[in-house]
Amino acid sequence: FLLDEDSEASHVLTEKEKSEFLYKIFFHLSVGGELCQNEDNIKEYSEATRKVYRDIISVQKSSETKELQIVSLVYKIRAEDENGAVFPSNIDHVNTFAYVIVDPFKRNVILLHHVFGCGEF
């Protein structure tokens, strides 16, 4: 249902939910790479998504509400020159991406990127 917009399940999530970084991680892990062998059990993808998300996103307890708040800032990046995209790749694919995750309190930056394909042999 992730890639097929005509699927009955494609409308389960709203566009706002699909724009969340947690969903983006789930999407990218589920689509996989060119040599990806699909897993039929969604639990494997959701556990992997949870682990990746917890490793790269920082939270902090609000002093006012005592609830956890996300403090990391996530940016999807793409570099272009006069001929088009050069980073993360000059070939466009739904699973070619680059995100910069900034933790302003720890002064930490994480680059999460993937280029779809198995490369040159």
pLDDT digits (tens, 9 = 90+) for 15-32: 898 889 999 999 999 887
Output the CA angle 26-104-95, nearest 5 degrees: 25
How many structural domains compose the chain? Answer: 1
pLDDT digits (tens, 9 = 90+) for 6-65: 666 667 778 898 889 999 999 999 887 676 667 778 899 999 999 999 999 999 999 999
**25 in any annotated domain:** yes
**121 in any annotated domain:** no
**71 in any annotated domain:** yes
What per-residue confidence (pLDDT) applies to 32?
74
**52 in any annotated domain:** yes
Kind plus residue range of the DSSP H or E element containing 60: strand 59-61
**98 in any annotated domain:** yes
**3 in any annotated domain:** no
**2 in any annotated domain:** no
**What does the radius of gyration of the chain's CA atoms come to, in whole angstroms?**
17
Show the domain range for 21.
8-114
